[in-house]
Amino acid sequence: MSIYNAPLRDMTFVLKEIAGLEEICALPGNEECSVDLVESILDEAAKFATGVLDPINRGGDTTGSVCKDGVVTTAPGFQDAYKLFCETGWMAMPFDPEYGGQGLPAAVTMAVNEMWKSSNMAFALCPMLTGGAIEAIAHHASDELKQKYLPKMIEGTWTGTMNLTEPNAGSDLAAIISKAKPAGDGSYLVSGTKIFITWGENDCAENIIHLVLARLPDAPPGLKGISLFLVPKFLVNDDGSLGQRNDLICASIEHKLGIHGSPTAVMSYGENDQCVGYLIGEENKGVGYMFTMMNHARVNVGLEGVGIAERAYQHALWYARERVQGKIIGDKSGEKKTILHHPDVRRLLMECKSRTEAMRTLAYYAAAQIDRAHAGDAAAQARIDLLTPVVKGWSTEQGVELSSTALQVFGGVGFVEETGAAQYYRDSRITTIYEGTTAIQANDLVGRKLAREKVPGAAMQALIAEMSADAEAIGANADLASIAVNLKNGIKALSTAADWIIANYDSAPADVHAGSVPFLKLTGIVVGGWLMAKSAAVAARHLAEGSTDTFYQAKLATAGYFAAHQLPFAAAYAAEVTGGAASTLGLAEPLF
């Protein structure tokens, strides 16, 4: 079996050269952060990922979490690993120091989180959901709730969840029927059933803080009648100590295709009509508040695509370096060589390596926009708003494809569980579904982020203009000319598709949405290609200045591969967006 090794060289390269780490550290509130500190943090995180999380990942898959009589027992090693995770301060990294956080930039947290997701995605889901709950409480709850709940959650002693989905209400939140009624003392009594609640019950935390969407009596129908409630597993006394068990229970956990180490719970609230909850913010504004949590989660789920692709690639590369089989085409030496020398195995591995690096660069670049937006940069806010569905949708689709590609390197034994390749494929599959399917992300991109923007297409046009200027500059270097040509063609395809969407959205919205997923993939490929081209330009500059670092040589080759093998798909996706609706919608329903 392979051992996970964090790709620290690429991580630091992207943070410094593309995300602009020095500038981020200079932003207001980040003054105590430095490049040296970040490098130390990444080194320690790599040790934790390799030494603590990776070794229990396999057991998490084979043993999984078990639920009996409402009590969940996590897989062997998870409880100890989580305790150490909290003791070493990893949970607190990005949060407000006022409540015990470390206040580190989002870009730094993004790189660290990638390691957790690569080494043990099932484990990483717990701090991810807790982090989203923290963000929602911090932005929208009363000072009293913040003081009472945030310190323990930021410490990690208490975990958090997000409760949206119900048996009758999946992506359609307007169908939610869970209820909450005033208890007369400022609290509420919550009742209903929620499904697919990640880490909804576990034996790692002292308390679990559920954020639950529910309807108040006489609330208006639809999305406008949903409120958000904080519902603790154990009630919390005024002095911060834990009180009695609340009227909620884990009815069962799901038997899933993958992420077996993550307990996905069916939660039942108020069976005895005594489930106490506390209103977050104002009545009937719960969906908007929950989107604070969901947007946090969407970027982090996109990062799961990066993490799982990286881990699957490392596992495949390990096998390709070990396995000897077949004659090498064009090799007349007669030597027995590993399958790494086979041309198609090289292609498979280059697919994994180049696309994973493109996704990583996009994720870290997006995180840097979050940091700049927090500092008041309106353009950065517009950029991250535009890119959030792309980070989530494109990266997770890539993660599924690349975990499959990595499995192909193993051949037949990849289909056998003992080799471990299948786990990454299975674990990756959920990422395109939860926190909004790829279609939901794509609909958000073409609707709210493009056609229905205050000035339709403004954010996209600003991005296209920046990418075009960079493509011209990169093309001035003869060694990068082919990369620049492919990038320019990709940008042209993106611009054509975006213009078509804006022109046709009002008159033919169904036609536009029939091509929304291809447009999302088109955007991901072009933006990823742009950032890889920028990476190639940086590498070329260092080499021209006399560097002999082989990392830069590899970056040039990887960026060149992405430009030659991925950017050409942009034209095909643009054609699908602008001319594919008729065939997509043309078959009458009875003929399916």
| Residues 239 and 53: beta-carbon distance below 8 Å | no
pLDDT digits (tens, 9 = 90+) for 504-537: 999 999 999 999 999 999 999 999 999 999 999 9
Q: What's 481's DSSP letter?
A: H
Kindly state the average pLDDT of the residues 143-170. Answer: 96
List, in order, residues 6 or more apart from 497 with CB less than 8 Å away: 515, 519, 522, 573, 574, 577, 578
Closest-CA residue to 15 (of 380, 366, 365) = 365
Structural domain tally of the chain? Answer: 1
Note the pLDDT of residue 290: 87
For residue 115 the two structure tokens come to 């390691």
3-class DSSP state for residue 14?
helix
How far CA 135 is from CA of 176, 443, 576, in Å, comes to 23, 25, 38
Kindly state the average pLDDT of the residues 52-65. Answer: 98
Kindly state the average pLDDT of the residues 233-248. Answer: 97
For residue 352 the two structure tokens come to 């994994």
Looking at the DSSP assignment, which residues form a beta bridge with residue 230?
211, 278
Note whether residue 449 is domain-resident: yes
Closest-CA residue to 91 (of 33, 155, 157, 146) = 155
H-helix segments, 223-340: 286-322
Spatial separation of the C-alpha atoms in residues 305 and 434, rounded to whole Å: 12
pLDDT digits (tens, 9 = 90+) for 387-418: 999 999 999 999 999 999 999 999 999 999 99
Name the residues annotated as catalytic: 435
**Residue 296 scores a pLDDT above 80:** no
Please state, for a pLDDT cut of 70, what percent of the chain lies above it.
100
Note whether residue 131 is domain-resident: no
**Residue 294 scores a pLDDT above 90:** no
For residue 191 the two structure tokens come to 């009742």
Spatial separation of the C-alpha atoms in residues 253 and 260, rounded to whole Å: 10
Spatial separation of the C-alpha atoms in residues 51 and 45, rounded to whole Å: 10
Note whether residue 27 is domain-resident: no
- Tokens 């078509």 identify what position? 500
pTM of the complete model: 0.97
Note the pLDDT of residue 339: 97
Closest-CA residue to 320 (of 329, 330, 312) = 312
* Alpha-carbon torsion angle 320, 118, 382, 533, nearest 10: -20
Note the pLDDT of residue 171: 83
Note whether residue 239 is domain-resident: no
Q: Provide the residue range defining the domain that includes 520.
A: 438-584
**pLDDT band at residue 292 under the 50/70/90 scheme:** confident
Note whether residue 419 is domain-resident: no
CB atoms under 10 Å from CB of 16, counted, come to 15
Note whether residue 64 is domain-resident: no
